[in-house]
């Protein structure tokens, strides 16, 4: 069944478990898989499901997110009618108190002007492929008021409901103490019919440093990669023109994702290397995530490390983390003359 849907992405969620990775960016704009941001996955799922009207509700720190999204053209949302809309809060006191419903309600005009009958409300940190057309079909078949998407029984903070019901929830959220749809779904006081849709494909929530690190390295498994990145439902992102990666004589790369624009002279194994990274001669990178424009000089050894953007690791430095506690190196930092573990 084909019905119009309005897409809402709640990008206000932040966790304090990412160390410095989210100190200067929102969770939604956290780099992932070599060339993407976390928000790309849910945004692409909506576009691939035929949704042409998407609103992103953000927190206060949005510079990196706005730089990434621009006009929405990369997702075919740079439109004269509908398209991509970004709403930032006017102040944070009410948002902190009442959650996303307060943020939504402050932009009631947007909802009233939209022509879509149903609404998908989703988070910004789920990685995987979701077909919202299938979920909407089930929602209509069951006659549910709200359909909650779950995976292995665990909520994905993603819902489908009618816009009429959503607007009515806005009007009573303070009185009923509903901060968001999750509160509504898991409250036994109302008489709403709640349906749960079990999504059986690969899906994961990036809600802590460990899940970010592990889910990133899981992509090195072909069975996982093929479920996340499909030809029929591509994950779209901001395009950046970079030359192909250059592999110098003596370099070795095994079981890794290497983005474009890199210069590889050393060895890379079981790692994810973002755009425009330079890895010097004799350097060894294992089980690590190296973000955009990092420079790793000669004879370094990095194992179990997350290197944020623009970091520099000097000659001969050794840095070691673990699967449970990867070592995080802050954006733009310079590491010289001492080993870390």
Mean pLDDT of the region 151-155? 94
User: Mean of the pLDDT values across residues 105-120?
Assistant: 94
| Architecture of the domain whose range is 5-228 | Alpha-Beta Complex (3.90)
Joined together, the tokens standing for residue 117 give: 């009958």
Provide the pLDDT for residue 142: 97
Please tell me the predicted confidence (pLDDT) of residue 2.
45
The reported pLDDT for the residue numbered 59 is: 85
* CA 333 – CA 23 distance, rounded (Å): 14
For 254, the 3-state DSSP assignment is: strand
pLDDT of residue 122: 97
Helix, strand, coil percentages, rounded to 5, for the chain = 25, 30, 45
294-327 burial, b at 16+ Cβ within 10 Å, e below that, comes to bbbbebbbbbbbbbbbbbbbbeebebbbeeeebb
Q: What band does 83 get if pLDDT is binned at 50, 70 and 90?
A: very high
CATH class of 246-335: mainly beta
CA distance 99 to 176: 13
Mean pLDDT (the chain, rounded): 93
The structural domains of the chain, with segments of one domain joined by +, span: 5-228, 246-335
pLDDT in tens, 303-312: 999 999 999 9
**Strands annotated E in 137-178:** 146-151, 154-162
Cβ–Cβ contacts within 10 Å for residue 189, how many?
A: 7
Question: What is the model's pLDDT at position 1?
Answer: 40
Burial of 225 (0-12, 13-18, 19+ CB in 10 A): middle
Q: What's the pLDDT at 100? A: 87
**Fold agreement (5-228, 246-335):** no
Evaluate the CA torsion angle 213, 216, 217, 218 in order and state its sign.
positive
Percentage of the chain modeled with pLDDT above 70: 96
Burial label, 254 (beta-carbon count in 10 A; 0-12, 13-18, 19+): exposed
Structure tokens given for 105: 């309600």
Dig out the tokens for 75 from the structure. Answer: 């997702």
State mean pLDDT over 11-28: 92
pLDDT tens-digit map of 195-248: 999 999 899 999 999 999 999 999 999 999 999 999 999 999 999 888 999 999
- pLDDT for 93 equals 53
- Average pLDDT of 246-259? 98
Residue 97 in this model has a pLDDT that exceeds 80: no
- Quick check: 311 and 328 in contact, CB under 8 A? no
pLDDT (0 to 100) of residue 341: 65
pLDDT in tens, 65-79: 999 999 999 999 999
What is residue 94's predicted lDDT score, i.e. its pLDDT? 57
Highest averaged pLDDT of the listed ranges 88-92, 100-104, 250-254: 250-254
Residues 7/53, Cβ–Cβ less than 8 Å? yes
What pTM, to 2 d.p., does this model score? 0.95
The fraction of the chain above a pLDDT of 90, given in percent, is 83
- Whether 188 shows a pLDDT value over 80: the answer reads yes
Taking the C-alpha atoms of residue 16 and residue 21, their distance in angstroms, rounded to an integer, is: 10
Q: Give dist(CA 302, CA 312) in Å, integer.
A: 12
């Amino acid at each position: 069944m084909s019905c119009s849907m309005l897409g809402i992405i709640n990008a206000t969620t932040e966790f304090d478990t990412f160390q410095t990775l989210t100190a200067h960016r929102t969770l939604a704009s956290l780099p992932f898989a070599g060339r993407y941001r976390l928000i790309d996955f849910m945004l692409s799922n909506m576009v691939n499901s035929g949704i042409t009207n998407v609103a992103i509700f953000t927190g206060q720190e949005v510079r990196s997110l706005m730089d990434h999204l621009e006009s929405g053209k990369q997702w075919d949302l740079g439109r004269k009618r509908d398209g991509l809309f970004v709403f930032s809060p006017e102040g944070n006191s009410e948002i902190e108190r009442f959650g996303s419903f307060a943020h939504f309600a402050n932009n009631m005009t947007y909802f009233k002007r939209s022509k879509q009958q149903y609404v998908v409300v989703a988070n910004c940190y789920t990685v995987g492929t979701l077909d919202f057309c299938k979920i909407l079909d089930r929602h209509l078949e069951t006659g549910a008021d709200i359909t909650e998407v779950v995976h292995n029984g665990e909520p994905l903070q993603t819902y489908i409901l009618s816009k009429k019901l959503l607007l009515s929830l806005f009007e009573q959220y303070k009185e009923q103490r509903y901060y968001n749809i999750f509160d509504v779904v898991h409250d036994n006081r109302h008489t709403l019919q709640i349906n749960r849709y079990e999504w059986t494909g690969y899906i994961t929530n990036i809600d802590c440093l460990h899940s970010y690190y592990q889910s990133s390295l899981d992509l090195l498994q072909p069975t996982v990669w093929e479920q996340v990145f499909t030809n029929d439902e591509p994950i779209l992102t901001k395009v950046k023109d970079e030359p192909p990666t250059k592999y110098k004589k003596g370099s070795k790369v095994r079981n890794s994702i290497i983005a474009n624009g890199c210069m590889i002279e050393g060895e890379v194994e079981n790692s994810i290397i973002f755009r425009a990274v330079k890895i010097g001669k004799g350097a060894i990178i294992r089980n690590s995530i190296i973000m955009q424009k990092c420079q790793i000089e000669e004879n370094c050894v990095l194992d179990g490390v997350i290197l944020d953007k623009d970091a520099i690791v000097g000659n001969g430095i050794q840095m070691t983390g673990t699967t449970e506690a990867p070592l995080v190196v802050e954006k733009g930092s310079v590491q010289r003359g001492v080993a870390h573990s």
